[in-house]
């Protein structure tokens, strides 16, 4: 079964809108795990507009499943990850002013930098995943870097699937085949939802983990958080 890691950035966004502690991010993280999710994901950004660096520290003692921290490996992020030592770090090439992640790494152009970052985290016992587009050469580049996993950037699939184009899965399938051949673990995330998650999971061999936040939290507004977490788990079986 593919594991479900829930990205709780949107919970932090809602909390920050009023300046208090409602909703309680730590309580929500506890509840999501109790509802059955196998991991918690956060993506702190330098401006702390949703997840704050202190949240990342506080969650360390709360997350008893898998703790995944995403972000661009600039110095403050690297220092934070090495301090809290999550189970997994996902390296994402976000611009400072990015609203959300919008591209994977060029693993060939940034090979030297990513090798340095990957080794640094691995030397501290942290599993490394690199955010990539579904392009075979980028997967091969990730292998050369020495990463443990890749995370397939699924925005293009989700958009095309919503338009009825199921052939949009093909580059992801091909990238997954190469990753399997090279012995790289496969994660996926971005715009996956209850509408498309089952189709995606069924067509990606060796999919270990999906990270879902925006859609899951939005769906939970109508259907309830406990219910939605378990709906994802059923579709991922």
Catalytic, 43? Answer yes
Cα–Cα nearest to 215, from 9, 28, 30: 9
Residue 124's SS3 state is coil
190 φ, ψ (degrees, to nearest 5): 115, 110
- Which candidate in 70, 151, 209, 219 is catalytic? 70
Catalytic, 151? Answer no
Tokens 């994901």 sit at which residue?
41
How far apart are the C-alpha atoms of 222 and 231, rounded to whole Å?
13
- Which candidate in 50, 66, 151, 190 is catalytic? 190
4, 38 Cβ separation under 8 angstroms:
yes
67, 59 Cβ separation under 8 angstroms:
yes
Catalytic, 110? Answer no
- Which candidate in 43, 66, 209, 219 is catalytic? 43
Residue 226's SS3 state is helix
Point out the residues that are catalytic: 43, 70, 190
């Amino acid at each position: 079964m593919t594991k479900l890691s829930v990205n709780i950035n949107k919970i932090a966004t809602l909390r920050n809108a009023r300046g208090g502690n409602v909703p309680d991010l730590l309580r929500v993280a506890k509840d999501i795990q109790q509802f059955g999710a196998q991991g918690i994901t956060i993506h702190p950004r330098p401006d702390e507009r949703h997840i704050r660096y202190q949240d990342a520290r506080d969650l360390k003692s709360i997350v008893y499943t898998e703790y995944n921290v995403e972000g661009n490996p600039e110095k403050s992020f690297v220092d934070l990850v090495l301090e809290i030592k999550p189970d997994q770090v996902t390296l994402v090439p976000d611009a400072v002013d990015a609203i959300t992640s919008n591209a994977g790494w060029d693993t060939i152009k940034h090979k030297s930098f990513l090798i340095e970052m990957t080794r640094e985290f691995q030397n501290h016992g942290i599993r490394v995943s690199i955010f990539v587009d579904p392009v075979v050469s980028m997967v091969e580049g990730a292998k050369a870097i020495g990463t443990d996993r890749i995370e397939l950037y699924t925005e293009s699939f989700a958009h095309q699937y919503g338009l009825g184009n199921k052939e949009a899965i093909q580059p992801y399938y091909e990238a997954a085949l190469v990753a399997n051949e090279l012995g790289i673990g496969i994660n996926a995330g971005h715009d996956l939802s209850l509408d498309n998650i089952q189709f995606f999971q069924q067509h990606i061999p060796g999919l270990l983990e999906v990270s879902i936040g925006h859609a899951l939290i939005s769906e939970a507004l109508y259907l309830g958080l406990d219910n939605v977490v378990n709906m994802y788990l059923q579709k991922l079986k």
